[in-house]
Amino acid sequence: MSTAIRPTNGQALQNLERMPPQDLDVEKAVLSAMLLSPRFLSDVSDWLQPGDFYYTQHGILFTSICELHRFDGRLDSWTLADYLKGTGRLEQVGGLDYITRLASFSTTGANIKLHAQIVKKHALSRSLLALSSTLATTIYEQSKEAPEVAQWALQELLTLTQGQEQRKGYTMREVMDEVQAQLEKSMAQKKKWAGLDTGFPGLNNFLNGLVEHEMTICGASPKIGKTRLALQIARCVSVSGQGRVLIYSVEMKRIQLGQYWGCAVAELDLARFRRGLLNEQEYKAYQRARAEIDQWPIIIDDEAPLTIPQLYASAERQFAKHADIKLVIVDYLQLMEGPEREDTPKYDKILRQLKDFKKRYPVHLWVLSQLSREVNTRKNRRPQVSDLRGTGMIEANADNIALIYRPGMYEHLLPTEGHRVELICPYLRFSPPGSVPLQWNPDKARFDNPDALLFHKPTPQVEHHDNR
């Protein structure tokens, strides 16, 4: 009967010159506490993984203790040994002798959470070492191009950092304390909306403003103005002192966004501006606008392509520098890159990770999305939720969906529709569906608020699901 301690992931770390981070006694303390009482077991069983233990038999013991408690409920050295014998793994963990000594290793489980955190910390360190070793080997062998290797490393790092914190359940008193604090904060601010002011009162009424930890998908056909609408909202949030805005512009370069804002503030013709056809008066107007725009708390990241690991890495850097980021805009969904398999389209994975992103950071996430080209083949060009690409996952993950409809964009409708705009809100988590009337200003290339009041309008072609 062998009681030798064997590393569980020695193969992955075999190229390391020094002993990887680990602590035999701490691992024993965790397992001993789990044997002492089911109460201690529940403190760590949903958080630690067998692979977090450096030593092979400790990972096997952890799995067996959890399985035995789940299936039988009775747990001590003898029942554990009997269970391991029945599964053919008793000799692998050192036999009954090792289990008996392990059970008496600790007399209290009071510090099991602290000990589990140490085990988890060492496991993360070893994973980083293994990743760095694999990364170095891949680079030296030149089996992949450097950009591909970088993307892989970013994805691996994101995977490693997820799940490092123990899940926590909250009592109803704790939940309602948070509700009370939010209510009192809203009452003290005396705002009409709980979230950020978009600059469009009708949209604010539907969304309750741009509420943190929520995601809005804004869809439109090409050239309709979804980017312009997002930039107007970003300008309103930033210049009104509500917070900083972080924009990921995958489609347009930062200079194009700057040109739009310069012309919007100075009220200049964008086409003439891009050609440099400004007279002295117009140039002075631009310089005054530029002095204002320079002070806007807006950050633009226009690097392409954009993957979820890159989004997280960039966000972590920006939040470390700026704690006042309140709105994140992604332009646009279909230009993001992600894994794609036959059973899982890439948008499904991206949308799930965007949902995790808005839960992680205290921001509102405004994501732009293209509509299917099929909308332009219909006689009725009014967009529907089904026109969103990857619509199933968009409905499942978005808190709000807004669709921009400009009937005047179609020549046969221009004489009767003019520059009327309808911001259709067919899916809202906390409100009934409806529409916000806007007006397109072709001279200033922007959306304006008309005098018409906010109105609710049924949208029979869209099904509203509450049970998500």
- Same domain (yes/no): 117, 193: no
3-state SS track over the chain: CCCCCCECCCCCCCCCCCCCCCCHHHHHHHHHHHHHCHHHHHHHCCCCCHHHCCEHHHHHHHHHHHHHHHHCCCCCHHHHHHHHHHCCCCHHHCHHHHHHHHHCCCCCCCCHHHHHHHHHHHHHHHHHHHHHHHHHHHHHHCCCCHHHHHHHHHHHHHHHHCCCCCCCCCCHHHHHHHHHHHHHHHHHHCCCCCCECCCCHHHHHHHCCECCCEEEEEEECCCCCHHHHHHHHHHHHHHCCCCEEEEEECCCCHHHHHHHHHHHHHCCCHHHHHCCCCCHHHHHHHHHHHHHHCCCCEEEECCCCEEHHHHHHHHHHHHHHCCCEEEEEEECHHHEECCCCCCCCHHHHHHHHHHHHHHHCCCEEEEEEEECHHHHHCCCCCCCHHHECCHHHHHHHCCEEEEEECHHHCCCCHHHHCCEEEEEEEEECCCCCEEEEEEEECCCCEEECCCCCCECCCCCCCCCCCCC
- pLDDT at position 16 is 56
**pLDDT category of residue 71 using cuts at 50, 70 and 90:** low
Same domain for 136 and 212? no
Q: Are residues 261 and 148 in the same domain?
A: no
**Nearest-10 crossing angle of helices 112-141, 24-36:** 140
Predicted local confidence at residue 7, as pLDDT: 55
Does residue 222 carry a pLDDT above 50? yes
The total of structural domains in the chain comes to 2
Q: Which pLDDT score is estimated for 352?
A: 83
Residue 291 inside a domain? The answer is yes
Same domain for 270 and 358? Answer: yes
Domain for residue 5, yes or no? no
- pLDDT tier at 402, thresholds 50, 70, 90: very high
Q: What is the mean pLDDT of residues 425-438?
A: 88
280 and 423 together in one domain: yes
CATH of residue 95 = 1.10.860.10
Q: Are residues 257 and 397 in the same domain?
A: yes
Residue 171 lies in a domain: no
Please answer whether residues 245 and 299 qualify as being in contact, where contact means their C-beta atoms are separated by less than 8 angstroms.
Answer: yes
Residue 316 lies in domain: 189-448
pLDDT at 457: 40
Confidence at 400, pLDDT banded by 50, 70, 90: very high
In a domain, 17, yes or no: no
Cα gap 443→272, rounded to integer Å: 12
Tell me: do 150 and 202 sit in the same domain: no
Burial label for 299, CB within 10 Å (0-12, 13-18, 19+), is middle
181 within some domain = no
Q: Is the pLDDT of residue 216 over 90?
A: yes
Is it the case that residue 11 has pLDDT exceeding 60? no
What is residue 4's predicted lDDT score, i.e. its pLDDT? 52
Is residue 248 a part of any domain in this protein? yes
Per the domain annotation, does 128 fall within a domain?
yes
Predicted pLDDT at 465: 44
Give percent of the chain above pLDDT 70: 84
pTM of the model: 0.66
Q: The domain that contains 383 carries what CATH number?
A: 3.40.50.300
Residues 324, 297: Cα–Cα separation, whole Å: 9
Could you tell me if 76 and 213 lie in one domain?
A: no
The verdict on 351 and 215 lying in the same domain is yes
Reported as a single tens digit per residue, the pLDDT across 161-203 is 665 655 566 677 877 788 888 778 777 777 778 889 998 988 9
Cα 205 to Cα 436: distance, rounded to the nearest angstrom: 9
| 400-405/420-428 β-pairing | antiparallel
306 has pLDDT over 60: yes
- Same domain assignment for residues 245 and 294: yes
Domain boundary among 114, 146, 161: 161
Residue 73, number of CB atoms within 10 A of its CB: 9
Contact 230, 368 (CB under 8 A): yes
Same domain for 104 and 230, yes or no, is no
Do 60 and 103 reside in the same domain of the chain?
yes
Average pLDDT score over residue span 295-311: 85
Residue with more model confidence, 340 or 336: 336
Under the banding of pLDDT at 50, 70 and 90, the label for residue 455 is very low
User: Is 48 within the bounds of a domain?
Assistant: yes
Place of tokens 């968009």: 394
Q: What is the predicted pLDDT for the residue at 464?
A: 42
